[in-house]
C-alpha cells in the first residue's frame, strides 16, 4: 500500500529522526507504528546511522501489529525484521537471524538481557507503550535500565503517559534520558514535585503534586517530548458514550452492602471475605458484575442484571457486530453460556473480526487493550465490567475509535447503581483530566515545526 503521510505524521517522523531521545505521545489511532518505522527505515537504510533496532511491545502488538505494518507499506520494502516471541527456542532462533529490526514482547525483556546470554548490541530501542515501564520496581524496568547506557537512540511511544498521575512519568523518563530531566532517584522526584496526600500516621498511601509542579515537570521534559491528539489531526467519526444503569433487588443489594461493610459475607454457604482494601475493591467489582470468586476460585452467582442489560444492547444493535469488554473470567464464562460469542485471542480471531465474520466478541482489556486494529469489524463497544486503569480503558476504546473507522462509535458502560461501578467511572474522568493537561502541555505545534 502506498503511504501518503499526513502533516502530523511527517512532523512526528522528523522529530524521531532529529532527537536521539524521543518521547512521542500519540493518541490512539494516529499511526505511531508507521511513523516510527518510516524513521527507522531512514536511519538504517538511508543515513546508515543505526545498524540494529529492538522494538519492545505488548505480546499481541509484537506478534501481529508491527510485522503487519512492515508488510503493509510499500515504502518500507527492504526493511527486514524478526519476531522474537513464543518459547525460548523460538525466541533464540529469531534473535540469531541477521535483520534490521528485532521485535520482542515486553514480558521477555528481562530474559533477553539477564538470562539469554545473547549480547545486547542494539544501538536503538523503541518502546511501544512506554507506560508499561512506569513501575521502577518491575524486572523489565530494572533490566532495560541496566542495558540502556549502550543504546545510542531510544524512542518511547504511548498515548497514555500518565494514566495514574504524574508519578508515572519518573520511571518512563529515567529509561529515556537516564535521569537527566526528572532525576536519577524516585525519592528525589517525589520530594521535588509532590507532597503526601492520603496517609495514616507515618504511612503515606499516595502523593499529590505541589503547587506549580505540573508546569515544572512539563517544562523539564518538553525538549524531548511531543504529543498529539487525534481530534486535532484526524476527522474521526463521532464517538458517543452511554451509561446503562442496572439495579439489583433488595436481596442482592443486601449481600453487596454486607460485604462492603464487614468485608465478609456468605453466598449459598460459601464464605467470601477480603483481607484488605485492594481485595475488597476487586470483589465488589465482581459482585457488581453478578458473580464473585470464593477462596477456591469458584464463582458464586449473585445476579444476572448486567447479562439482561447486555442482551438488550445486543438486540438493540440490530445485527451490527458488538465488542464486549470484560475483566473477570467468570464474566466471560457467563456471557458465553448465554450468547453465541467468540473471544478475541489469536491472529485468526482478529482477522475474522475485521472480515465481519464475528457478530459478538469478547476482549480482555489487559490483553487486547494495546495496538490491535479492530475498527474494520464493528463500531459498538460494551463495557460489561469496568477497570480502574485509565490506560487500559482508553486503549480498549481506541480499538474501534481510530483512523479507518467509518461509522459512529458507540461505547456503552453497564453500571450497577449504588455500587463501586459509579466510583470507577468518576475516577476515570478525574484521571483523564490530569493526563489531558500533560498532553496539552507538550502538544506538537506543526506550524512552528515547519
Write out pLDDT tens, residues 372-411: 788 888 889 999 999 988 888 988 888 888 777 888 888 9
In a domain, 431, yes or no: no
Number of domains, the chain: 3
SS (H, E, C) 332-401: HHHHHHHCCCEECCCHHHHHHHHCCCCCEEEECHHHHCCCCCCCCCCCEEEECCCCCCHHHHHHHHCCCC
Identify whether the C-beta of residue 415 lies closer than 8 Å to the C-beta of residue 428.
Answer: no
DSSP-derived 3-state class of residue 20: coil
**Within a domain: 427:** no
Statement to judge: residues 77 and 160 lie in one domain: yes
Q: Are residues 21 and 170 in the same domain?
A: yes
CATH number at residue 320: 3.40.50.300
Distance CA 39, CA 16 (A): 7
| Arithmetic mean of pLDDT, 24-33 | 81
User: Are both 130 and 268 inside the same structural domain?
Assistant: no
Predicted pLDDT of residue 449: 44
In a domain, 425, yes or no: no
* Per-residue model confidence as pLDDT tens digits over 246-273: 999 999 999 999 888 888 877 776 778 7
Predicted TM-score (pTM) of the model is: 0.66
pLDDT digits (tens, 9 = 90+) for 337-348: 999 999 998 888
Same domain, 364 and 283: no
Higher pLDDT, 13 or 32: 13
Mean pLDDT of 272-280: 81
pLDDT at residue 74, rounded to an integer = 95
Q: Could you report the per-residue pLDDT of 304-350, keeping only the tens digit for each?
A: 999 999 998 888 787 889 999 999 999 999 999 999 999 998 888 88
On whether residue 223 sits in a domain, the answer given is yes
| pLDDT over 90 percentage in the chain | 57
Which of the four pLDDT bands, split at 50, 70 and 90, describes residue 301? very high
In a domain, 47, yes or no: yes
Q: Are 54 and 60 in contact (CB under 8 A)?
A: no
Do 103 and 173 share a domain, yes or no? yes
For residues 162 and 416, the model is more confident at 416
The answer to whether residue 39 sits within a structural domain is yes
My answer on whether 325 and 291 are in the same domain is no
314 plus 394 within the same structural domain: yes
- At residue 84 the predicted structure's pLDDT band, cuts being 50, 70 and 90, is very high
b/e per residue 205-226 (b: at least 16 CB within 10 A): eebebeeeebeebbebbeebbb
For residues 111 and 219, state if they share a domain: yes
Q: What is the CATH number of the domain that holds 186?
A: 3.40.50.10810
pLDDT of residue 173: 96
Is residue 167 one of the residues assigned to a domain? yes
Query: pLDDT tens digits for 50-69?
Result: 999 999 998 878 988 899 89
Domain match, 77 and 206 both: yes
Instruction: Please check whether residues 79 and 225 belong to one and the same domain.
Output: yes
Q: Do 292 and 313 fall within a single domain? A: no
- Mean local confidence (pLDDT), 415-434: 89
pLDDT attached to residue 44:
97
Q: Quick one: which of 22, 37, 16 has its CA closest to 130?
A: 22
Task: Give residue 26's domain range.
Answer: 7-234+436-449
Average pLDDT of every residue of the chain: 89
- What integer pLDDT is reported at residue 448 of this predicted model? 45
Judgement on whether residues 270 and 339 belong to the same structural domain of the protein: no
pLDDT band at 446 (very low <50, low <70, confident <90, very high): low
Residue 445, exposed/middle/buried by CB under 10 A (0-12, 13-18, 19+)? Answer: exposed
pLDDT at site 352: 92
In a domain, 424, yes or no: no
Name the pLDDT band for 357 (thresholds 50, 70, 90): very high
Amino acid at each position: 500500500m502506498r503511504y501518503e503521510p499526513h502533516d502530523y505524521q511527517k512532523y512526528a517522523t522528523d522529530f524521531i529522526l532529529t532527537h536521539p531521545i524521543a518521547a512521542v505521545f500519540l493518541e490512539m489511532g494516529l499511526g505511531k507504528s508507521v511513523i516510527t518505522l518510516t524513521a527507522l527505515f531512514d536511519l538504517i537504510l538511508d543515513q546508515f546511522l543505526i545498524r540494529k533496532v529492538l522494538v519492545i511491545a505488548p505480546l499481541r502488538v509484537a506478534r501481529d501489529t508491527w510485522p503487519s505494518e512492515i508488510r503493509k507499506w510499500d515504502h518500507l520494502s527492504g526493511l527486514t525484521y524478526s519476531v522474537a516471541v513464543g518459547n525460548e527456542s523460538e525466541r533464540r532462533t529469531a534473535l540469531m537471524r541477521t535483520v534490521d529490526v528485532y521485535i520482542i514482547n515486553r514480558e521477555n525483556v528481562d530474559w533477553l538481557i539477564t538470562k539469554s546470554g545473547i549480547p545486547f548490541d542494539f544501538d536503538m530501542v523503541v518502546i511501544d507503550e512506554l507506560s508499561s515501564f512506569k513501575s521502577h520496581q518491575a524486572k523489565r524496568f530494572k533490566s532495560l535500565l541496566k542495558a540502556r547506557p549502550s543504546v545510542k537512540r531510544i524512542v518511547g511511544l504511548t498515548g497514555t503517559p500518565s494514566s495514574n498521575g504524574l508519578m508515572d512519568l519518573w520511571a518512563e523518563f529515567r529509561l529515556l534520558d537516564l535521569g537527566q530531566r526528572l532525576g536519577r532517584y524516585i525519592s528525589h522526584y517525589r520530594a521535588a514535585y509532590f507532597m503526601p496526600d492520603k496517609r495514616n500516621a507515618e504511612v503515606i498511601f499516595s502523593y499529590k503534586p505541589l503547587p506549580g509542579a505540573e508546569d515544572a515537570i512539563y517544562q523539564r521534559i518538553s525538549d524531548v517530548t511531543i504529543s498529539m491528539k487525534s481530534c486535532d489531526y484526524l476527522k474521526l467519526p463521532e464517538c458517543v458514550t452511554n451509561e446503562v444503569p442496572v439495579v439489583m433487588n433488595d436481596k442482592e443489594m443486601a449481600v453487596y452492602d454486607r460485604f462492603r461493610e464487614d468485608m465478609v459475607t456468605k453466598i449459598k454457604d460459601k464464605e467470601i471475605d477480603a483481607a484488605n482494601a485492594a481485595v475488597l475493591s476487586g470483589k465488589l467489582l465482581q459482585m457488581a458484575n453478578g458473580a464473585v470468586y470464593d477462596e477456591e476460585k469458584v464463582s458464586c452467582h449473585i445476579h444476572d442484571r448486567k447479562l439482561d442489560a447486555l442482551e438488550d444492547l445486543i438486540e438493540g444493535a440490530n445485527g451490527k457486530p458488538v465488542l464486549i469488554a470484560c475483566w473477570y473470567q467468570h464474566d466471560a464464562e457467563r456471557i458465553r453460556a448465554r450468547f453465541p460469542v467468540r473471544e478475541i485471542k489469536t491472529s485468526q480471531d482478529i482477522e475474522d473480526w475485521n472480515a465481519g465474520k464475528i457478530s459478538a466478541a469478547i476482549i480482555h482489556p489487559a490483553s487486547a487493550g494495546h495496538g490491535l486494529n479492530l475498527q474494520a469489524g464493528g463500531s459498538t463497544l460494551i463495557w460489561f465490567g469496568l477497570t480502574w486503569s485509565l490506560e487500559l480503558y482508553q486503549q480498549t476504546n481506541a480499538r474501534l475509535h481510530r483512523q479507518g473507522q467509518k461509522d459512529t462509535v458507540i461505547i456503552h458502560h453497564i453500571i450497577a447503581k449504588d455500587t463501586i461501578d459509579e466510583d470507577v467511572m468518576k475516577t476515570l474522568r478525574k484521571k483523564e483530566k490530569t493526563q489531558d493537561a500533560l498532553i496539552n502541555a507538550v502538544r506538537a505545534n506543526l506550524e512552528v515545526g515547519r
